[in-house]
Amino acid sequence: MRIVLTGGGTGGHIYPALAIGREAQRRQPETTLLYIGTKRGLESKIVPQQGVRFESIDITGFRRSLSMENVKTVMRFIQGVRRSKALLRAFRPDAVVGTGGYVCGPVVYAAAKLGIPTLIHEQNVIPGLTNKFLSRYADGIAVSFADSKPHFARARNVIHAGNPCASAVVDADPAKGYASLGLRTGTKFVLAVGGSRGAQALNHAIAEMAPRLSGMPDVHFVFVTGERYYEETQARMKSLPATDADRVHVVSYLHNMPEVLAAASLVVSRAGASSLAEITALGVPAILVPSPNVTNNHQQPNAESLAACGGGEMILERDLTGDLLYERIAAIMGDDARRREMAAASRRLGMPEAAATICFQLEALVRRR
């Protein structure tokens, strides 16, 4: 097969697309991939590093207020469609897959107009503007959360597939996670992470609760601060008593996040779609602090979905304090039975075969043509 992947702006759109591409190549090794993104987006760096051919178009997103810039965006969209059609005619794909972000708008639209089978994937409970627009043209739609399906009520071929990022972590080895931290296998530890760039509110709450860590003497803590907040958080942790400091691991970034996550007893995290896919695929109990600084506040419905099934708890950022976070962590870590129940509930929500399910649907769309 020849497949065009498109989606960008953030890793939450890019990594699901790449996961679908990798699964397609696993199923059919002769599969050839082309990724269409923008030069400004993260995809321009990430995709070539993965050995996937990359081409770009010039496109920007719509502003939510009346603006002359939106007129320019319409013109860029029209030009983007023309550029996309030229790339598609040259590559001659069997199918086009879009995973969100404004860049996939003109690409998927152009493919639909050329009669090429198209599929879009929505990572969040509440669809983004681009996927809402494309749902009128796409031949198939895959969603990460069942709660997303009502948002596509008028669309055709909507399936609840899960997030393909789950497929990339399901085989992560927890033993390697323990070893990378210098911990004995089976050691209880809490992993707190605010994303690759860190989350200031979460880091502040962690620093506030640090003096109380002696109340959980058998639990280790791994704090992933992000580069920006590392020095500040590390300095605050230096005031801990030696007995507590030995149980606290402060790092700016983890290159083996899936392995560490697989070993974690509890994760404290934002509620991005890819993060939740990995958490549920591995069945890790979670305390989620959704970011309020994202479009449509889409992380909160994501977190509510996990909390509703019993796999996690949610703390809104406006309510987040060191004391509250400590109390929630202590309650979960002090109750092994509850933690096992949360893990089982999380795993039930996880869909580790997401990439395979999406590829199966994609192959079916191609056969119909």
Q: CA-CA distance, 295 to 58, in Å (whole number)?
A: 21
Q: Does 10 appear as a known binding residue? A: yes
Q: Yes or no: say if 262 and 288 are a contact pair by the CB < 8 Å rule.
A: no
Q: CA-CA distance, 268 to 314, in Å (whole number)?
A: 10
Quick one: 251 exposed, middle or buried, by C-beta within 10 A (0-12, 13-18, 19+)? middle
Q: CA-CA distance, 151 to 75, in Å (whole number)?
A: 28
Q: Yes or no: say if 322 and 234 are a contact pair by the CB < 8 Å rule.
A: no
Q: Does 196 appear as a known binding residue? A: yes
Q: Does 12 appear as a known binding residue? A: yes
Amino acid letter for position 132: K
DSSP single-letter state for residue 63: P
Q: Does 144 appear as a known binding residue? A: no
Beta strands in the chain (DSSP E): 2-6, 32-37, 53-56, 95-98, 118-122, 140-143, 158-160, 189-193, 220-224, 248-251, 266-269, 286-288, 312-314
Cite the annotated binding site by residue number. Answer: 10-12, 124, 196, 299
Cite the annotated binding site for UDP-N-acetyl-alpha-D-glucosamine by residue number. Answer: 10-12, 124, 196, 299
